[in-house]
Structure 1
Amino acid sequence: MEDQGNCCLTCCCPCITFGLVAEIVDRGSTSSGASGAMYIVVGILTGWGCQWLYSCFYRTKMRAQYGLQETPYPDCCVTGFCELCAMCQEFRELRNRGFVMDIGWHANMELQGHNGVTVPPVMHADGMTR
């Protein structure tokens, strides 16, 4: 197992991992707390049967932002069949791109010296890394 801490956190409280990923993908326009809370609300309103669709939206958005391929399976299949695994993968992808996941978008931009200006992403030919 590559990242036991992230996997345990995601299994116990997926709303936290979702919120951290969503804040980075939204480029700071929503906080991790607000995104995590929305994940819970969607889950409750759908009887915990369709929150994976909300998660799928962010996976697709992240893939588009970083030019990642949708292989070997479409985003809806990955999140629908193993949403927790998909969230762990997204978390690792962002961390591997240099984001410190627990400090948020704005602090990452300051840390990277971008002052809110993003740079073109590093492209991976083989899709999201494991």
Structure 2
Amino acid sequence: MNNPGKQSDGYPPPPSVGIPAAGVNQYYKPPEHLPRPLQVEPQATLTPWSTGLCQCCDDVGNCCITCWCPCVTFGKIAEIVDRGSSSCGTSGALYGLILCVTGCSCMFSCFYRTRLRSQYSLPEGSCPDCLVHCCCESCALCQEYRELKNRGFDMDIGWVGNMERQPRGVNVPPPVVGGMVR
């Protein structure tokens, strides 16, 4: 027998007086055994680093400069990553000042690693950028320098020099409009 005031599925009974009865699907509950669709966000395609973190000796000259004066390497990297908005000398001097005053220049340089990775879709790896710079500052700077160099930048001429070296489109003179007529 059906008991009109009680339902066996755990939902309250539809109202019976004063309110019009709803359709059949008012108390529909989807089955719990069906999986919910996954919300997957598309990711940008990451390209691997051209060299590893510990391959500093692939460029012995840069490795030596970075070990003895990391502000030079950092300045060159920062000028390219900033796309010329800061000069090599200014960035290198600021890095050197932070290094001398606080000893924590790695906190400054790790932001440039993050920007470099973002610009060129490079993977972060198993360690965050700040940890890489805090533990292996020289190796990180050498890897970033080599990455930019392997991407075709001449690190000695800076951003402006690299942009001037780029081939430009064919320069077409503007069209000549007829002379003034009275």
| Superposition TM-score, scaled by structure 2 size | 0.60
Higher helix share: 1
**In structure 2, distance between residues paired with 1:33 and 1:90:** 18
Letter in 2 for 1:26: D
Question: What's 1:70 paired with?
Answer: 124
Question: What's 1:81 paired with?
Answer: 135
**In structure 1, distance between residues paired with 2:114 and 2:60:** 25
Question: What's 1:42 paired with?
Answer: 98
The question of 1:14 aligning with 2:45 is answered no
Equivalent in 73, 79, 82 of residue 23 of structure 1:
79
Bigger radius of gyration: 2
**In structure 2, distance between residues paired with 1:52 and 1:102:** 23
Letter in 2 for 1:35: S
User: RMSD of the TM alignment (CA)?
Assistant: 1.3
Secondary structure class of the residue paired with 1:87:
helix
Change (3 A) 1:79 1:16: same
Pairwise CA distance, 1:43:
1.4
Equivalent in 71, 93, 98 of residue 152 of structure 2:
98
**In structure 1, distance between residues paired with 2:100 and 2:69:** 14
- Higher mean displacement: 80-89 or 69-78: 69-78
**In structure 2, distance between residues paired with 1:72 and 1:97:** 23
Runs of 4+ aligned residues of structure 1 deviating over 2 Å after TM superposition are none
Which protein, 1 or 2, shows the higher relative CO under an 8 Å CA cutoff with sep ≥ 6?
1
Q: How many residues align?
A: 113
Matches within 5 A, 1:113-128: 113=167
Name structure 1 gaps, 5 residues minimum.
116-130
Equivalent in 80, 88, 92 of residue 32 of structure 1:
88
**In structure 2, distance between residues paired with 1:38 and 1:67:** 27
Pairwise CA distance, 1:40:
1.1
| Superposition TM-score, scaled by structure 1 size | 0.83
Question: What's 1:57 paired with?
Answer: 111
Percent identity among equivalent residues?
A: 59
